[in-house]
Amino acid sequence: MATQHAGMYLRSSSTHLLNKTPYLGIGSRPTEKIFFLVNSTNRSKEERLMAMVKRPEASTVDLKIEATKAVFCGMLEGLKHPYILPVLEVDYIPEKEFLVTFRPLTKSGSIRDLIHNAKPRDPYARKYDKTGKQLSLRLIREYGRQILEALLFLRSRRIPFPQLHSGNVILDREKKTCRLTEVESSLINIEPRYSRLLAETPAASEVDVEALCFGHVLYEMACGFELSSPVLDCVPPHCYREVGEVLEGIFNPNGDDALTSIKSLLRHPLFAEVSLREDLTDVSGPLSSGEKDLLKLAKKGGGGGKKKEKKKKQHSSKTISSTSVPEDATWTGGVAGGINAVGPPKQKTYHSNSTSSPARQPPPQNQDTTHTAVAEPVGGRGPGLPSPDTSPPTSDAPSGEQSAVGKAMGGKAMGGKSMGGKAMGGSKGDGKGSNGGKGAGKGKSTATPRPAPKKPASGALSSAAAASATMSGISDLGSPEAVLAMLKKAKKPKKKALSFKEKLAAQLGGR
- The reply to whether 159 and 49 lie within a common domain is yes
- Helices 209-223 and 241-251 cross at an angle (nearest 10°) of 150
Amino acid in position 444:
K
- The reply to whether 381 and 490 lie within a common domain is yes
pLDDT (tens digit, 9 = 90+) per residue, 330-349?
A: 333 333 333 333 444 444 44
- The reply to whether 296 and 384 lie within a common domain is no
- The reply to whether 83 and 200 lie within a common domain is yes
In a domain, 388, yes or no: yes
In a domain, 443, yes or no: no
pLDDT (tens digit, 9 = 90+) per residue, 211-257?
A: 999 999 999 999 999 999 999 988 999 999 999 999 999 999 988 88
- The reply to whether 375 and 243 lie within a common domain is no
Question: Which domain-ending residue is among 300, 332, 348?
Answer: 300
Answering whether pTM is above 0.85, one says no
Q: How confident is the model at residue 473 (pLDDT cuts 50, 70, 90)?
A: low
Strand 47-54 with 98-104, pairing: antiparallel
Q: What is the average per-residue pLDDT within 3-28?
A: 88
Question: Which domain-ending residue is among 300, 324, 350?
Answer: 300
Q: How confident is the model at residue 398 (pLDDT cuts 50, 70, 90)?
A: very low
Q: What are phi and psi of 64, to 5 degrees?
A: -70, -20
Secondary element (H or E) of residue 127: helix 124-127
In a domain, 321, yes or no: no
* Average of per-residue pLDDT values in the chain: 74
In a domain, 340, yes or no: no
In a domain, 214, yes or no: yes
187 or 453, greater pLDDT: 187
- The reply to whether 294 and 407 lie within a common domain is no
Q: How confident is the model at residue 505 (pLDDT cuts 50, 70, 90)?
A: confident
The number of beta carbons lying within 10 Å of the beta carbon of residue 316 is: 5
What's the rounded Cα separation, in Å, for the pair 271 and 84? 18
Of the candidates 61, 55, 303, 294, the one whose C-alpha atom is nearest the C-alpha of residue 189 is: 303
In a domain, 316, yes or no: no
- The reply to whether 211 and 102 lie within a common domain is yes
- The reply to whether 281 and 156 lie within a common domain is yes
- The reply to whether 494 and 392 lie within a common domain is yes
- Burial call 241-276: b when 16+ CB within 10 Å, e when fewer: eebbebbbbbbebeeeebbbbbebbbebebbeebee
Amino acid in position 203:
A
pLDDT at 257: 85
Asked whether the predicted pLDDT for residue 380 surpasses 70, the reply is no
In a domain, 322, yes or no: no
Find out whether 198 and 162 touch, Cβ atoms under 8 Å.
yes
Of the candidates 440, 80, 145, the one whose C-alpha atom is nearest the C-alpha of residue 282 is: 80
In a domain, 65, yes or no: yes
- The reply to whether 155 and 279 lie within a common domain is yes
What's the rounded Cα separation, in Å, for the pair 496 and 398? 8
- Under DSSP, the state recorded for 52 is E
Class of residue 304 by CB neighbours under 10 A (exposed 0-12, middle 13-18, buried 19+)? buried
- The reply to whether 370 and 260 lie within a common domain is no
The domain total for the chain is 2
What's the rounded Cα separation, in Å, for the pair 24 and 3? 10
Task: Find the CATH number of the domain harbouring 94.
Answer: 1.10.510.10
pLDDT (tens digit, 9 = 90+) per residue, 403-450?
A: 443 443 444 434 444 343 343 444 444 444 444 444 434 444 444 555
- The reply to whether 280 and 153 lie within a common domain is yes
Helix (H, G, I), strand (E, B) or coil at 22: strand
| Segments forming the whole domain that contains residue 253 | 2-300
pLDDT at 323: 34
Question: Which domain-ending residue is among 253, 273, 300?
Answer: 300
pLDDT (tens digit, 9 = 90+) per residue, 134-171?
A: 999 999 999 999 999 999 999 999 999 999 999 999 99
Q: What is the average per-residue pLDDT within 376-394?
A: 45
